[in-house]
A and B are shown apart, each in its own frame.
Chain A
Amino acid sequence: MSTPTGAGRLDLPGTPIFDGDTSRRGFRMNKLFMSLRDAAARERFLADEAAYCREFRLSAEQEQAVLARDWQAMIDLGGSIFYVYKLAMMDGRSMQYLGGVFTGMGEDDFLAAMRAGGRRDG
């Protein structure tokens, strides 16, 4: 429970907490993700992803994470899973695919674990 990033911040293993610090860090990137709800915006994004990232003033690391589809880095750099998911949807990726990435299990094993009743602690 002792982190330098602010009072009350939770520290639960394997559990990103989308708190104020995180949201501030990811603000512009999350805005970019939200903009992808619009078909015209998706077209512009796909035409020149780097330019689109600069338009939203992403940090260099965030831009790199987006271009490389480094989903874990997007979360680490302040992405909210509900916003990051907009980009995943655009790519035709499911929440089970993302679960496979975050856990390192891969999509098939993750899906099998969910169908078997989900994952447990410990």
Chain B
Amino acid sequence: MAEVIWGLATSHVPSIGAAMDRGKTEDPAWQALFDGYAPARAWLAEHRPDVAVLVYNDHANGIDLDFIPTFGLGTAERYEVADEGYGRRPVPDVLGHPELSFHLVESLVDEGFDLTVFQELAVDHGFTVPLSVWTPDPGDAWPCPVIPLLVNVIQYPQPTAARCYALGQALGRAIRSFPGDLTVGVLGTGGMSHQLAGTRAGFINPDFDAMWMEAVEKDPARLAALSREELIRQAGSEGIELIMWLVMRGALDEQVTKVHSDYFVPASNTAAGIALFDNRAPEA
């Protein structure tokens, strides 16, 4: 039986990856963000899973507006790092885990989540930045194979928060029903509050973010009840991508142990958050 051992929520702002790629992590504008990652990175380095599932959205790099899958899952053996216009990030391509991917697709379709299947996919910063948050110096390879789970957050209507949470719960069941001993980490990415366009650009809502950070640990059902409109109003038109944290959270147990969390403004125009949860049963 496979087991979800941890869940990591993190922003996936491209400038976080760029700061790392250009050696700027100790610049005054960035140091506090990266200091805030350190405890999570140290813990994660000690708890390497066999496979990870990473929930993210593409930003006009791996897919365009011809097809807008509400939910999709990668089944490839390898995912190339996308060139977003000015050369790919200097990070390794991503190895997949087709066997687990096909099991997840089948289980999720059986549960009524009719996912789009990606047999080939170039992954952009939405995917590689969270991997860099987890593993700053991957060398030639990331710590384990990683399976992409895509969510449409770019074009309205995004899936509801409730549906994302339910997908996460089904994902957790699907992982646990895999016939084979695997440890799995699940990453939910994006957020926190931000808005890129309109006269409200630059909007940040620290109160909402603090509420979200607390509730994602202790009361995710409360977050799952938020409407699309409420999310856009409170978290900004791009902050709605926080719904991807709920997919991760749904895959974990009701009770989790928070390892670390941190919050930093601004990463570009965004409030950056990180939250790491240990999903193993607490020792008696």
Contacts and interface: CB of A to CB of B under 8 A. Distances in A.
Interface of A: 8, 10, 12-20, 23, 27, 30-31, 33-34, 36-38, 42, 75, 80-83, 86, 89-90, 94-96, 98-99, 102-104, 110, 113-115, 117-121
What are the 10 A-B residue pairs with the smallest beta carbon separation, nearest first? A118-B204, A14-B200, A14-B199, A19-B156, A119-B202, A114-B266, A37-B85, A102-B201, A99-B201, A81-B197
9 contacts: A8-B157, A14-B198, A15-B195, A19-B155, A30-B60, A80-B60, A83-B65, A102-B199, A104-B199
B197 A75 contact: yes
Contact of B196 (A31, A81, A113): A81
A74 to B, nearest CB: 10
Given A80-B65, A82-B60, A114-B269, A95 B196 contact: yes
B202 A33 contact: no
B117 interface: no
A117 B83 contact: no
B90 to A, nearest CB: 17
Contact of B269 (A10, A34, A86, A99): A99
Contacts, number: 131
Contact of B201 (A34, A80, A98): A98
A114 B265 CA distance: 7
Contact of B203 (A17, A30, A31, A121): A121
Interface stretch (B92-100, B176-184, B229-237, B247-255): B229-237
Nearest to A114: B266
Interface residues of B, number: 40
Contact of B204 (A10, A31, A120): A120
A113 B41 CA distance: 30
Contact of B202 (A23, A34, A75, A118): A118
Contacts of A86: 60, 85
Query: Counting chain A CB atoms within 10 Å of each CB, which of B85, B155, B203, B232 scores highest?
Result: B85
Given A15-B236, A115-B29, A118-B271, 8 more contacts: A10-B156, A16-B197, A23-B65, A30-B64, A37-B84, A75-B198, A114-B268, A119-B201
A12 B205 CA distance: 16
Query: Counting chain B CB atoms within 10 Å of each CB, which of A15, A99, A104, A115 scores highest?
Result: A15
Contacts of B269: 95-96, 99, 114, 118
B252 to A, nearest CB: 29
A34 B155 CA distance: 15
A44 to B, nearest CB: 15
Contacts of B228: 10
B68 to A, nearest CB: 8
